[in-house]
Structure 1
Amino acid sequence: MTQPVVRRRHVFFVSGFDPKGASYYHRLYAEGAGRQGKTSGYACDVGRRERTEDPDVQRWCAKWRGDISDPIEPVETTIEFLAWDDLVRAHWPRGVAAVAWGAVLAYVAAGSCGLGLLRVWRQSRRTLIALAYPALLWVLALIVGILLGQLVAQLTFRVGLASDWAPGKTGALAWGLAALVCAGAWWGALRIERKLHTSWLLRIYRFVDLWARGQLPELEKRLDAMASRVYECLRRKDADEVLLVGYSVGSMLAASIMARVVKKCEGDASAACRLSFLTLGQCIPLLGLMPRAHRFRGELAVLAAAADLCWVDYSSPTDWGSFALVDPLEICRVGPAGRRPVMPTMRSPRFHTLFDAEEYTWLRKNKRHLHLQYLMASPKVGEYDYFLMTAGPWHLCRSLSRGSTH
């Protein structure tokens, strides 16, 4: 069905596993909308951030308008930030031992995925490598430290014997130097970790493992509240489109929210036709493939059966922190047996078309910034325009056929 032009939109945004809250993402949106508008030839004015009656929700407004020659009327969008950063901080272990032990438990759980890991390897090898490299980094540092330490100790013993050093002093010196070499190897690994942010990934793995095990009741309560808020917005019928956006790890939460909203909308066709779902840098299979994530896979099955739902995913193959172009419903084996789900529509933002060669080279080297680029402006006009999708005049699925034009 062809969707009419949007005049009023309500966006619900779910951030990633990030202790930063609404103020950071509001500033990111406001700055990006201004820059993207200048590049793309439209205006997108973002208002101040406001608190709502719900302490876990803050909102701001965006007003989109085309240039003078554009006959399309202005669009008013309300964007609500569905906060869960407090839960992230509550599950953000700070000690090295706590992070390491949590990571061990998460890797053990992930290792039991069996054929699921094989499917990830076949469809997204970069992602599997990215998931494994925090463990590989520290295991490699341990092995290198031990081997170099042994080598230094043996050389010291040989020098001591050739020089007639006292055995006690030789042994103390040898093992002391070996310990220093091991410490040096771990110090080098720590420097690499600070650049690659592997501890952040390890915290995510542990959080996802707890979620799969059903050990985050406070999260489930929050998801219920978020779903109820989205559904109440649909029932008011004061928006032409209600758009749920899930970014990074937030795509998992958004999928769970959307499944609950879809259930609430059963029998209400007028509400369902105004509902859209956008995931960015999605990593839904990270939870969906966990052996104990039965409830979450059930929610994915609800989405697989929602044939009229407009669900679009933008994830870049250069973003190793996402399952780019991997259908989360297919890889998690959910939906009707023998019938492949018809959505989500998997797209690449094609970041290389949005930047000059030099800028894009820098972006690819800065993986953390690259993962955030979904929410930011670009210096060139292309198919991917986050602000046009979330504040512009077209319904999400209709915007796909129009590219970035307005």
Structure 2
Amino acid sequence: MTVDQAGRVRRRRVFYVPGFDPFPPRRYRELYRREGVRQAEISGYRLALAPLSGEAGYGWRVDTSIGGEETHAQVTVLVWADLVQESMRGGVLTAYWLMLRTLWIFWSTGALVAMVRLRPGPMLSGLYPVAVLMVQALLAVLLGWGAGWLALLLSGSAALAVLAGLAMAYGVLALAQKIDNRLYAYYLLYDFAHTARHYGANPPALEERLAGFVAQIREALTQDWDEVLIVGHSSGAALAVSATADVLRAGLPPGAPPLALLTLGQAIPMQSFLPRADRLRSDLRALAAHHDLFWLDVSAPGDGACFGLSDPVAVSGVAPPDQRWPLVISAAFSQSLKPETWKRLRRRFMRLHIQYLSAFDAPRDYDYFQITAGPRTLAARYQGRKPSPSRDARPLSPHTSMAPR
């Protein structure tokens, strides 16, 4: 380990946990390559990326030269896209059943009301798929009725008319599902449904995958790195929290490099406010006062797909008296992007949600690429940084039970 008193890093290991994303991890390498080069040009440093061969899982290496200091980083994506794909299987009728069930779970448990009190924006995102699917259902009924009426006029058969109407209605709904890559209604529905399926508990397959993540991180902590950084984005932030908590519960190996956690655009209350999220709430509390960790949480009020500037520990009602983490700061989209860029992105809510992983026109103190591949540890970079004045720490979760870990 070569980290010095100033928190300088020559070699860093990064573990990235994606959000609820069914696509293969290659897209994250391409995003990092494209946006990293652009950020380096804007900010005046050098960044080069290359794929890793023979690496377990999926990853790449990054070499940077910033302020005359050379840094090497190795990034590994902790993949759970296959589990996401599995949860998204099913036809149109299954999707409508999931919509009703998910709405009932969030409403009946009190989580929906609590999340609306916390941040209305993400809940509007959650109601968006409901509105879209209901409009699609209404359109399907109208077109189905028209097709049935026309079949009745042409054939005089009521049975044929019913069949024609049902076929038309189902065809409309199936087509809407097929072209959802433009609307994201089904995608958002499946995201909420996956979280609510077990009332906030992780399904067994996900717990098994988490155990694999923890094993990879623990192995890295025995190696010659100057920092091990765990990054969780969106729904992946909760998984990153649980993986980090399990690593720390097992104890850091002797001489382990500094361990840091970075959560971006987190949606943790969507899970931690549910009654059976005991494991996640325990993990949040375990990290909140830990001395062997630096935890930075970055979000933005303009991001309607996250709980912007909400302290995930405090709002979940599990903050210990000596809470230290996370340090909650704003990515300040409206100030870090040119006015024309901000105007273009602010209505593209899915694109805006990945801005944390992208280049900024005028970055302030948040630069994803310097954090993951630059010459300073996360703790050194944000030493003395105060939390955002707009940080929300109100304990709003209707459920605060914690599982013994």
TM-score (norm 1): 0.80
- Percent identity, aligned pairs only, is 32
Counterpart pick for 2:348 among 366, 385, 389: 366
Distance 1:329 1:282 in 2: 12
Distance 1:111 1:44 in 2: 47
Q: Residues 264 and 189 of structure 1: is their aligned pair in 2 closer, same or farther, counting only changes over 3 Å?
A: same
Which residue in 2 is equivalent to 1:19? Answer: 22
Q: Which amino acid aligns with 1:284?
A: I
Which residue in 1 is equivalent to 2:104? Answer: 108
Which residue in 2 is equivalent to 1:231? Answer: 218
> Structure 1 residue 118: deviation in Å?
3.9
> Structure 1 residue 253: deviation in Å?
1.1
CA contact (8 A) 1:314 1:349 kept: yes
Which residue in 2 is equivalent to 1:161? Answer: none
How many residue pairs get aligned? The number is 374
Distance 2:88 2:33 in 1: 28
Q: Does 1:320 align with 2:320?
A: no
CA contact (8 A) 2:15 2:230 kept: yes
> Structure 1 residue 146: deviation in Å?
8.4
Q: Does 1:350 align with 2:350?
A: no
In terms of mean alpha carbon deviation, does 347-356 or 279-288 score higher? 347-356
Distance 2:78 2:178 in 1: 34
Q: Residues 215 and 73 of structure 1: is their aligned pair in 2 closer, same or farther, counting only changes over 3 Å?
A: closer
Q: Residues 45 and 188 of structure 1: is their aligned pair in 2 closer, same or farther, counting only changes over 3 Å?
A: closer
> Structure 1 residue 353: deviation in Å?
2.3
Which residue in 1 is equivalent to 2:79? Answer: 83
What pairs with 1:55-66 in structure 2 (closer than 5 Å)?
57-66=57-66
SS of 1:93 mapped into structure 2: coil
CA contact (8 A) 2:177 2:186 kept: no
Q: Which amino acid aligns with 1:61?
A: R
What pairs with 1:232-381 in structure 2 (closer than 5 Å)?
232-236=219-223, 238-265=224-251, 270-271=255-256, 274-336=258-320, 339=321, 341-381=323-363
Distance 2:22 2:265 in 1: 18
In structure 1, runs of 5+ residues without a counterpart are 153-168, 170-174
Q: Does 1:397 align with 2:387?
A: no
Q: Does 1:121 align with 2:101?
A: no
SS of 2:248 mapped into structure 1: helix
Q: Residues 194 and 391 of structure 1: is their aligned pair in 2 closer, same or farther, counting only changes over 3 Å?
A: closer
Q: Which amino acid aligns with 2:316?
A: C
> Structure 1 residue 322: deviation in Å?
0.7
Counterpart pick for 1:208 among 184, 189, 195: 195
CA contact (8 A) 1:311 1:344 kept: yes
Which residue in 2 is equivalent to 1:220? Answer: 207
Q: Residues 190 and 90 of structure 1: is their aligned pair in 2 closer, same or farther, counting only changes over 3 Å?
A: closer
SS of 1:311 mapped into structure 2: strand
Q: Which has the larger radius of gyration?
A: 1
Distance 2:294 2:311 in 1: 14
Distance 1:394 1:248 in 2: 24
Distance 2:138 2:86 in 1: 33
> Structure 1 residue 215: deviation in Å?
6.6
CA contact (8 A) 1:51 1:58 kept: no
Distance 1:199 1:390 in 2: 32
Q: Residues 147 and 278 of structure 1: is their aligned pair in 2 closer, same or farther, counting only changes over 3 Å?
A: same
Q: Once the two structures are superposed, what CA deviation does each residue of 1:368-402 show, in whole Å capped at 9, x if it has no partner?
A: 11111111122334322110110001111322359
> Structure 1 residue 235: deviation in Å?
2.2
**Which structure carries more helix by proportion?**
1
Q: Residues 61 and 287 of structure 1: is their aligned pair in 2 closer, same or farther, counting only changes over 3 Å?
A: same
CA contact (8 A) 1:49 1:60 kept: yes
Q: Does 1:41 align with 2:12?
A: no
SS of 2:12 mapped into structure 1: strand
> Structure 1 residue 187: deviation in Å?
11
Distance 1:42 1:402 in 2: 25
Q: Residues 3 and 343 of structure 1: is their aligned pair in 2 closer, same or farther, counting only changes over 3 Å?
A: farther
Aligned-residue RMSD, C-alpha: 3.5
Distance 2:324 2:85 in 1: 37
> Structure 1 residue 88: deviation in Å?
1.3
In structure 2, runs of 5+ residues without a counterpart are 147-155, 157-161, 386-405
In terms of mean alpha carbon deviation, does 285-294 or 192-201 score higher? 192-201
CA contact (8 A) 1:62 1:77 kept: yes
Q: Once the two structures are superposed, what CA deviation does each residue of 1:207-246 show, in whole Å capped at 9, x if it has no partner?
A: 112354657212111101111111121122x111100000
Q: Which amino acid aligns with 1:65?
A: S
CA contact (8 A) 1:112 1:291 kept: no
Distance 1:204 1:348 in 2: 24
Q: Once the two structures are superposed, what CA deviation does each residue of 1:258-304 show, in whole Å capped at 9, x if it has no partner?
A: 111111126x5753x70000011111111111112222222222222
SS of 1:365 mapped into structure 2: coil
Q: Which amino acid aligns with 1:64?
A: T
Distance 1:144 1:218 in 2: 37
SS of 2:197 mapped into structure 1: helix
CA contact (8 A) 1:63 1:74 kept: yes
In terms of mean alpha carbon deviation, does 37-46 or 1-10 score higher? 1-10
Distance 1:98 1:187 in 2: 12
Which residue in 2 is equivalent to 1:30? Answer: 33
CA contact (8 A) 1:18 1:85 kept: yes
What pairs with 1:167-186 in structure 2 (closer than 5 Å)?
none
Q: Residues 186 and 25 of structure 1: is their aligned pair in 2 closer, same or farther, counting only changes over 3 Å?
A: closer
> Structure 1 residue 354: deviation in Å?
2.8
